[in-house]
């Protein structure tokens, strides 16, 4: 832990990025609940403004559900090329402070500023300066979390959103984690939360009281990760050349899908989510993989690989429909569908590559 505590990690996260860009560029949208995405019946919200979030509207939510929650919601068509250009501006600012930048998507990244290019000792001061630069150059706000590892920095960045920052110091990490509910842990999703609750684990303190062997027994390799983060430990470095292997989405349906029409209806929100993630992360893939799990839990996958990346949602939809059609007639009802894009190509240069040209 002593060596880990010497690290200074900043997690920078743009506030409601897509929606904020639209409100910046269209003054009439300011102060209104805005959703970036499709308003059609089977559309999906890619991003929601803070005004919309007050009504419970969230990203990845079906547009029809979002409209029920907020009838005054204004839908705006995504402009991913604009978002990518703004992301380039922001990453150029990061690169003036450190070469150790690990982008997670167009709107967030980890920065290791332990040894930074400005030679500023205070990570708090650095985060304030970077956020001020982003605001001055893009007219957009960012939030920051500062700590001695990635796990805590990510948690901290949510603590003062929007347009704020929060520090978790080395001597504060353990107490901070033990007070959290397991649902607040980054990387622990609803299904895992339900399993933890079944085991009587509700808080970080509850999690810390479990042995590593117990957690591995119930959660496999992830159990070791849970064991360490419950102790406020995260030894993962900030990796500048981090490569995403795939983007995907899947849904387990409340009732088994039995007809071709039901399959197509169930598949569309999944395709929308995959495309939105692909655009948000600035990556495109050459391989489309369809995942199907039948009512008896038997699972199959079917893939198709192209020479060039999938550049349009229409092509992604067409290929997925063809892979699905090849499985008809159904031997059983379908309880889960998933789609993934792999063999990815990144459209935005990695920060490490940009810096290599500078030096």
Query: Which residues are identified as catalytic?
Result: 108
Token pair belonging to 22: 């639209």
Q: Is residue 15 within 8 Å of residue 138, measured between CB atoms?
A: no
Q: How far is CA 156 from CA 9, 126, 144, 145, 338, in A?
A: 11, 15, 7, 4, 32
CA angle 350, 239, 153 (to 5 degrees): 110
3-state secondary structure of 296: coil
Beta carbons within 8 Å of 93's beta carbon, 6+ residues apart: 130, 133, 134, 137
H-helix or E-strand spanning residue 345 = strand 334-346
Q: CA of 358: how far to CAs of 52, 257, 354, in Å?
A: 41, 54, 7
Angle between helix axes 313-325 and 260-280 (nearest 10 degrees) is 140
Question: Is the Cβ–Cβ distance between 126 and 120 less than 8 Å?
Answer: yes
| Helix, coil or strand: residue 143 | strand
Residue 334 exposed, middle or buried by CB count within 10 Å (0-12, 13-18, 19+): buried
Which among 321, 323, 341 is positioned nearest to 279, based on CA atoms? 341
């Amino acid at each position: 832990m002593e060596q880990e505590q010497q690290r200074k990690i900043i997690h920078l996260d743009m506030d409601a990025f897509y929606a904020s860009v639209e409100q910046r560029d269209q003054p009439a949208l300011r102060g209104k609940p805005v959703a970036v995405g499709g308003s059609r019946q089977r559309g999906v919200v890619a991003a929601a403004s803070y005004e919309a979030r007050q009504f419970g509207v969230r990203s990845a939510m079906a547009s029809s559900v979002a409209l029920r929650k907020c009838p005054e919601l204004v839908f705006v068509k995504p402009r991913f090329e604009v978002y990518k250009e703004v992301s380039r501006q922001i990453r150029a600012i990061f690169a003036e402070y450190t070469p150790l930048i690990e982008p997670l998507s167009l709107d967030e990244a980890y920065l290791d500023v332990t040894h930074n290019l400005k030679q500023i000792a205070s990570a708090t001061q650095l985060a304030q300066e970077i956020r001020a630069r982003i605001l001055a150059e893009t007219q957009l706000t960012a939030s920051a979390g500062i700590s001695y590892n990635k796990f805590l920095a990510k948690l901290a960045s949510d603590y003062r959103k929007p347009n704020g920052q929060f520090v978790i110091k080395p001597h504060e990490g353990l107490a901070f984690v033990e007070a959290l509910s397991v649902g607040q842990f980054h990387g622990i999703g609803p299904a895992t939360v339900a399993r933890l609750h079944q085991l009587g684990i509700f808080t970080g303190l509850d999690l810390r009281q479990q042995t590593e062997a117990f957690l591995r027994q119930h959660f496999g390799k992830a159990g070791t990760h849970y064991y360490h983060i419950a102790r406020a430990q995260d030894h993962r470095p900030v990796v500048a050349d981090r490569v995403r292997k795939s983007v995907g989405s899947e849904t387990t349906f409340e009732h088994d899908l039995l007809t071709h029409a039901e399959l197509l209806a169930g598949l569309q929100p999944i395709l929308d989510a995959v495309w939105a993630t692909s655009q948000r992360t600035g990556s495109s893939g050459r391989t489309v993989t369809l995942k199907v799990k039948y009512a008896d839990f038997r699972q199959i996958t079917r893939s198709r690989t192209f020479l060039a990346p999938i550049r349009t949602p229409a092509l992604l939809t067409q290929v997925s429909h063809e892979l699905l059609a090849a499985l008809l007639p159904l031997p059983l009802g379908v309880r889960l569908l998933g789609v993934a894009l792999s063999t990815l190509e990144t459209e935005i240069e990695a920060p490490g590559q940009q810096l290599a040209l500078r030096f």
